[in-house]
A = this chain, B = another copy of it.
Amino acid sequence: MSQEHKIHKPKPISGFPEWLPEYRAVELQWMDKIRKVFESYGFCSIETPSVEEIDALTAKGGETEKEIYTLHRLQAEIDSSHSPDFRTTDPRLALHFDLTVPLARYVAQHFNGLVFPFKRYQMQRVWRGERPQKGRFREFTQCDIDVINLDALPLHFDAEMPAIIWEVLKGLPGMETEKFLIRINNRKLLVGYLNAIGVTDENFLTDIMRAIDKKEKISPTDFSYLIVNACKKYSPRNDDAISDLIEKIKALINIKCSAPDELEEALEGLVFERNDLYEVGKKELVFVLSALAHAPPGEIIADLSIVRGLDYYTGTVYETVFLDNPDYGSICSGGRYDDLASQYINRKLPGVGISIGFSRLFAYLLEKGALPVGQKSPAHILMILPSEERRGKAAQTAQDLRERGYNVELYHAAKKVSDQLKYASRKSIPYVWFPPFEDGKPHEVKNMANGEQTQADPGKWEIPK
Contacts and interface: CB of A to CB of B under 8 A. Distances in A.
Interface residues of A, number: 109
Q: Is the interface of A mostly helix, strand, loop or mixed?
A: loop
Contact of A25 (B3, B44, B109): B44
Contacts of A382: 42
A129 B75 contact: yes
B84 A409 contact: no
A54 interface: yes
Given A46-B24, A56-B10, A156-B412, A70 B63 contact: no
Interface in A143-201: 149, 153-154, 156-157
A68 B64 contact: no
Contacts of A3: 346
B95 A71 contact: yes
B42 A378 contact: yes
Interface in A256-289: none
A427 interface: yes
B412 A343 contact: no
How many copies of the chain does the oligomer comprise? 2
A44 B70 contact: no
A413 B154 contact: yes
A20 interface: yes
Nearest to A55: B8
Given A77-B70, A129-B75, A17 B407 contact: no
Interface in A9-24: 9-14, 16-21, 24
Given A70-B71, A71-B71, A75-B129, A24 B44 contact: yes
**Cβ-closest 7 pairs across A and B:** A42-B409, A16-B49, A42-B379, A39-B378, A21-B44, A68-B74, A73-B129
